[in-house]
Amino acid sequence: MLKFYTRFEINDVTGSSLTDHDMTQLHYKKITSLQRAVFAKFPSLRVFALSNVATVDNRESLEQHFGGLDGKGLLQIATFLNLVPEEVVSPLDWHRVDEQFLRELLITRHERRCSQLEALNEMPLYPTEQIIWDENVVPSEYYSGESCLALPKLNLQFLTLHDYLLRNFNLFRLESTYEIRQDIEDAVSRMLPWQSEDGDVVFGGWARMALPIASFAVVEVAKPHLGEKKPSRVRADVGVTLSVRREIKAEWENLRKHDVCFLITVKPTQPYGTKYKHREPFIPQVGLVSVRGCEVEGMLDANGRVIEDGPEPRPQLQGENRCYRVWLDSNQYRLDMDDLQERADDVYESFNILMRRKPKENNFKAVLETIRHLMNTECVVPPWLHDILLGYGDPGAAHYSNMPNQERSLEFNDTFLDFHHLKASFPNYNLKCEVPEENRQPPFRLIFEDVPIQTESDGEDHEEKPEEELAKSILVQPYKYEARGPYPSDKPKQNSIRFTPTQVEAIRAGMQPGLTLVVGPPGTGKTDVAVQIISNIYHNHPNQRTLIVTHSNQALNQLFEKIMALDIDERHLLRLGHGEEALETEKDYSRYGRVNYVLAKRMDLLSQVQKLQEALGVSGDNAYTCETAGYFYLYNVMARWEKFQSQIAVHKEDTDAEKLRAEFEREFPFGKFFADAPQPLFKGASYEELMDIACSNFRYISDIFNELEEFRAFELLRTGLDRSKYLLVKEAKIIAMTCTHAALKRKELVNLGFRYDNILMEESAQILEIETFIPLLLQNPLDGLNRLKRWIMIGDHHQLPPVIKNMAFQKYSNMEQSLFTRLVRLGVPTVDLDGQGRARASICSLYKWRYKKLEDLQHIFERDEYKQANPGFAHDYQLINVEDFKGVGESEPNPYFYQNLAEAEYIVAVYMYMRLLGYPAAKISILTTYNGQKHLIRDVINARCGNNPLIGWPHKITTVDKYQGQQNDYILISLVRTKAVGHLRDVRRLVVAMSRARLGLYVFGRVSLFKNCLELQQTFKLLTQRPLKLSLVPEDKYPTDRLASADVASQDIKTVDNMSEMAQFVYERYMAKMEELKGTLPSEEELQAMRNQLPQEDGEIVPEEASEEPPEKRAAKEEPLSKKKTTEVFKPTPILNEINVDDTDMAEREQIQQEATDEDKTQESAPTEES
């Protein structure tokens, strides 16, 4: 690492980065100066002095030439080149001048340095077995933070953009390698490779993500490109047998082009029947020999051709044998072939396992290729951003107030609801408005008088003038939207949110050029601010294009759904990536969806042109194409409009309203076209008003032809692909994608000539540093400059950071630091949103201490849902202490797979209680801090009530980390751990957990463990002020009239001591509810009478047996085990994680279950109460 940074590509004096060419010139300069010194002093080295540089600048050649010199001669050369002092005296007496040192000094200084870029370009992108299991490169065990590791770090500052990209490249590669190692260990261990008696490999198990390879052959090694050593392409065919379940077979058959798979060789030494032990080393147990990555080109059909992805359905292949054509890594293949020359084994003849990975986690190769491609091109970052990205200079330099092109006048469109809202939004400004008060209606144009007027004069003249202190005042100019036509649907959609002053400041900052950071605590309306910024930029700068980037598809969809509610023409919206399927809209915003929309809209507009042609009485086929419509507009429509303007101008001075109106109706040429609009068409009382109406109607017509002119390209382009590219590059103004999609498709977008002016990033604090940086460079520079004007980042660094699975990379290398967090730490100015409108004030107090200033918005105190208490509960939030159940607290069936049965049962019982009171399932989410507990709670729900129509499944059961950015009315949380605090110690995870609920939050955990944790004390101090045993109000119904502020009488409160008591209580309530329902169900005769009244088609007979009964009625008749009333006490179902269960244990358990079922059959009544 020292050698690497001593030769780093940076100018040691100025700090500017050097290209490969600059480094080569510096190297030549050093060599020629050495040759001059040798030529002058040592005639014996004349051959070296007169040789060309390329023959003498490697280590072997230099050693050969200088090997014959003694210490005295070496010292002479070194002093001549000023590498060592002539006399070693104080203060330079520390210098070494011995022969060994001087020779090494001259050779090291003058040998040709290997270009970092060349080394990077020759590096294989897939990890191999040497790297994957090298503990020095990819540490596996829990990192304590005490030792030093040979890993790059992401700090606050970087030397150059090259250094920045290189560190990110190395860390991203190693983190991907760690995840690949986990996947390989999981898949191969499940396949249980054993050695057969004749020495071959047999597989005793199976894995969803891996298959044994039936055949493997390298089918093509293409010639290298000019100047390269590696083959230009290496392809191979991999044959497998898909004798697996149908859904797994479908997953294998749906492997897409560019999906990454791994080819694995195992040579096990373990005999048949050896069990795999998770806590012992992996490689010796399975006999793993080699791992190579490959990229899928496609599956081969019966004729050996690759099946291409396309709109046509894929051909159905017979049998179970499938063959995949894959690309191998050319760099790796070259290295392997070089090793083969050295008598190594041929790895390409021994592969016996093909492993795939989950698509979401499998994009590492594309991201690494993108970073490498960036390093091979000239990275042009906007000059106002360059130093801030590297961590130097004034952190506030890119703030809009310091930008030379700050805009003085801004149209805020529909941001303000009225003049009072505007006044409240700028408390530190003096507002001037020349319009009388009754006419001060939005929209408003604001002219900020504290922004200096930009002059065209030279900078020197400008500097001589003394800077005047500009007054903090705003000139407010109300303006009117240009009416778009006579139809009610032509009115623009309006924003209805009353933004707070800090939200307005964030919107103002986002509209101005420069870098804007918005810190948005939970519930402060980050998405609403983002959408308003996008809308305002769209209206202020109609020719600029905005790129929206988010961390997840879900966040992008939330943002998109709100954008569609604003006044943005939907033909300018485009959504890239695979997440558009999840958009909850009738319209399709994907590339092909938008192309179809444009084509349908074109037909609609051409039919309007046809209607206009008929109304004007013009003959000919003018509405055939966009082109003919354009000529029609020019020669027929414009001519009539200009004639109308000249004819009506004569009556400008007339004051008789009736006469004027009649004149307008008679002269206006398009009256017949607007016959279906609300009549009369001209309702004004003066010439100006009537002329405005005429202009708005003509604007409606001209908009039709303007849109058709935009759509003309879609007539000329014939294929869907060309049309979608045109849409992306020219037509769309607001383009949305995830950061992963941007990283995957960068090369494709740049090659298409993609252009954009503004970037808005949502959830910025959750995006990896490199995935935040890549979207800045999705376009080629224009005249050597990046055209980016605005970069808006919205996030919250007090919530969870990007997910990094390896502790060493996360903590030691600081890889979990997002670019947003780094900029905040550097001191870049931020706009901190300070009004939350999500949670009750009491729930907000659990996390508001983490923020500088976080107040509750007024509606938190005014709306009924916040005033009312939570039905059935004495408190709106509560921490419930859960003790061990049968002596067991947390359990760990697999490493880091933590579960807690007592908490799982307790939470499910509370959920069932809420459903019995009448809470909608969609308003309840269950969260936990560990994946193991998530699976256990799902198992318990499934066993208790999942299929019960009365209760069913809650809205979501997931982890706190996955639920960031979402919310629900009622949240139940399981903290799981009873021995150590675990990763909840991270305050950011606590903030996310506490801030998901709007109305009710109930936390289940071991109080004694968490209340003493120093990092969590602020929150747990508040939680422990309330009773630690669940306090219920059983007589409540949902919804309740009881107020949250009202005290509940002690006799109305039921205190639940433990999980078993809660489960028994819920069971009794459930049985009571069933009895109540039985009384309300219709009798068999009434049901039959209802059936007879149903309308029937002729000849149709409804058989009695087949008729549907209500589920409760059918359930009551059949008396299933879960619903029969008995007197036995509640018994919890033992739900076990059956990974790693011994065969003997399994056999015993099955025998016990068999005996239990035999007993059940002999008894008349149902013996359990486990509903």
Q: Shortest CA distance to 511 belongs to which of 790, 262, 115?
A: 790
Q: Is 1108 exposed, middle or buried (0-12, 13-18, 19+ CB in 10 A)?
A: exposed
pLDDT band at 1068 (very low <50, low <70, confident <90, very high): very high
Which residue among 707, 722, 737 closes a domain? Answer: 722
Mean pLDDT of 399-417: 91
Q: How far apart are CA 375 and CA 180, in angstroms?
A: 25
Question: Using alpha carbons only, what angle is made at residue 1115 by residues 1113 and 1117, rounded to the nearest 5 degrees?
Answer: 70
48: alpha, beta or left, given left = phi > 0 and alpha = psi -120 to 50?
alpha
Higher pLDDT, 727 or 330: 330
The pTM (predicted TM-score) of the whole model is 0.85
306-358 residue pLDDT tens: 888 766 677 888 889 999 999 999 999 999 999 998 888 889 999 999 999 98
Domain-embedded: residue 301: yes
Instruction: Please tell me the predicted confidence (pLDDT) of residue 1.
Output: 64
Domain-embedded: residue 1064: yes
Helices (H) then strands (E): counts for the chain: 42, 30
586-621 residue pLDDT tens: 567 777 888 888 889 999 999 999 999 999 988 888
Q: How far apart are CA 436 and CA 439, in angstroms?
A: 6
1002 and 871 together in one domain: yes
What is the domain-level CATH number for residue 1062? Answer: 3.40.50.300
187 and 91 together in one domain: no
Q: Shortest CA distance to 512 belongs to which of 417, 402, 427, 428?
A: 402
Instruction: Please tell me the predicted confidence (pLDDT) of residue 513.
Output: 95
253 and 357 together in one domain: yes
Q: How far apart are CA 291 and CA 283, in angstroms?
A: 12
Query: Over 60: is that where the pLDDT of 1120 sits?
Result: no
Query: Over 80: is that where the pLDDT of 908 sits?
Result: yes
Which residue among 1020, 1045, 1073 closes a domain? Answer: 1073
216 and 354 together in one domain: yes
Task: Output the average pLDDT for the chain.
Answer: 85
Domain-embedded: residue 91: yes
976 and 865 together in one domain: yes
Minimum mean pLDDT among 52-61, 208-217, 265-274, 501-510: which range?
52-61
Q: How far apart are CA 549 and CA 738, in angstroms?
A: 5
936 and 1043 together in one domain: yes
831-873 residue pLDDT tens: 999 999 999 999 999 999 999 889 999 999 999 999 999 999 9
1032-1053 residue pLDDT tens: 999 888 888 889 888 888 888 9
203 and 85 together in one domain: no
pLDDT band at 448 (very low <50, low <70, confident <90, very high): very high
- What phi and psi, each to the nearest 5 degrees, are found at residue 714? -70, -20
Q: Is 740 exposed, middle or buried (0-12, 13-18, 19+ CB in 10 A)?
A: buried
Q: How far apart are CA 293 and CA 369, in angstroms?
A: 14
Residue 80 has a CB neighbour count (10 Å cut-off) of: 16
100 and 186 together in one domain: no
Q: Which domain holds residue 344?
A: 175-307+320-362
Domain-embedded: residue 387: no
Domain-embedded: residue 1030: yes
Mean pLDDT of 48-65: 85
Instruction: Please tell me the predicted confidence (pLDDT) of residue 1128.
Output: 44
Instruction: Please tell me the predicted confidence (pLDDT) of residue 439.
Output: 83
Instruction: Please tell me the predicted confidence (pLDDT) of residue 207.
Output: 93
Query: Over 70: is that where the pLDDT of 499 sits?
Result: yes
Q: Shortest CA distance to 262 belongs to which of 125, 148, 167?
A: 125
Reading the block at residue 281, the tokens are 């080393």
Mean pLDDT of 132-154: 80
Query: Over 90: is that where the pLDDT of 1086 sits?
Result: no
Q: How far apart are CA 789 and CA 852, in angstroms?
A: 30
Instruction: Please tell me the predicted confidence (pLDDT) of residue 878.
Output: 95
Domain-embedded: residue 1007: yes
pLDDT band at 957 (very low <50, low <70, confident <90, very high): very high
Domain-embedded: residue 729: no
408: alpha, beta or left, given left = phi > 0 and alpha = psi -120 to 50?
alpha
1040 and 891 together in one domain: yes
Domain-embedded: residue 1141: no
Instruction: Please tell me the predicted confidence (pLDDT) of residue 1171.
Output: 33
Instruction: Please tell me the predicted confidence (pLDDT) of residue 586.
Output: 58
207 and 102 together in one domain: no
553: which residues sit within 8 A by CB, 6+ positions away?
577, 578, 579, 582, 738
103 and 179 together in one domain: no
For 218, the 3-state DSSP assignment is strand
Query: Over 80: is that where the pLDDT of 1122 sits?
Result: no
Pick from 178-182, 1141-1145, 1156-1160 the range whose average pLDDT is largest. Answer: 178-182
pLDDT band at 808 (very low <50, low <70, confident <90, very high): confident
910 and 1031 together in one domain: yes
Q: What is the tally of structural domains in the chain?
A: 4
787-798 residue pLDDT tens: 899 999 999 999
683-699 residue pLDDT tens: 887 888 888 889 999 99
Q: How far apart are CA 845 and CA 175, in angstroms?
A: 37
Instruction: Please tell me the predicted confidence (pLDDT) of residue 236.
Output: 95
Which residue among 683, 698, 722 closes a domain? Answer: 722
- The residue length of the chain stands at 1171
645: which residues sit within 8 A by CB, 6+ positions away?
none
Instruction: Please tell me the predicted confidence (pLDDT) of residue 311.
Output: 62
Q: How far apart are CA 466 and CA 555, in angstroms?
A: 49
299: which residues sit within 8 A by CB, 6+ positions away?
253, 255, 306, 307, 317, 322, 323, 324, 325
